[in-house]
């Protein structure tokens, strides 16, 4: 995962996949809210929900819950905020995390990419 500066869409380096999971965001021990993961990559995620996100550049604690991942906890930085028909959108860049968590996310993204390849064949 990276410690790079804020990224624009054109600067993404990791493939991302549509992904359905729950992300519970908090900051400084205070719960921000529950968000739906829309897509996932080794470097981050895009989540949507109704709760007001912290400002771009702020760190957040993320609890990801998905059948493919189980429940994992990691840190991220808010890199963008948007509005859409699904509510408020937050682009998250994962901060350095334990290697087993990083490996689990990478393996999950690869498995989802393989499913897409098989479906397209």
pTM: 0.84
Could you report the per-residue pLDDT of 51-99, keeping only the tens digit for each? 888 899 999 999 999 988 899 999 999 999 998 787 899 999 999 888 9
Residue 8 within any structural domain of the chain = no
Measured between alpha carbons, how far is residue 38 from residues 20, 46, 82, 121 in Å? 6, 6, 13, 24
The partner residues of 39 in beta bridges, in order of sequence, read 18, 46
Percent of the chain with pLDDT strictly greater than 70? 88
Which has the closest alpha carbon to 18: 51, 49, 41? 41
Residue 98 within any structural domain of the chain = yes
Give kind and range of the element (H or E) at residue 33.
strand 30-41
Specify the CATH number for the domain of residue 84: 2.40.10.220
Question: By residue range, what is the domain housing residue 17?
Answer: 13-120
Residue 31 within any structural domain of the chain = yes
Give kind and range of the element (H or E) at residue 71.
strand 70-84
Domains held by the chain: number: 1
């Amino acid at each position: 995962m990276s410690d790079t500066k804020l990224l624009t869409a054109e600067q993404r380096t990791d493939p991302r996949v549509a992904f359905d999971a729950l992300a519970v965001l908090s900051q400084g021990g205070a719960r921000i809210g529950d968000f739906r993961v829309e897509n996932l990559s080794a470097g981050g995620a895009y989540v949507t929900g109704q709760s007001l996100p912290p400002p771009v550049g702020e760190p957040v604690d993320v609890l990801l819950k998905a059948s493919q991942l189980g429940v994992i906890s990691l840190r991220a930085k808010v890199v963008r905020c948007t509005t859409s028909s699904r509510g408020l959108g937050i682009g998250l860049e994962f901060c350095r995390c334990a290697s087993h968590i990083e490996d689990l996310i990478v393996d999950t993204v690869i498995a989802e990419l393989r499913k897409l390849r098989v479906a397209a064949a």
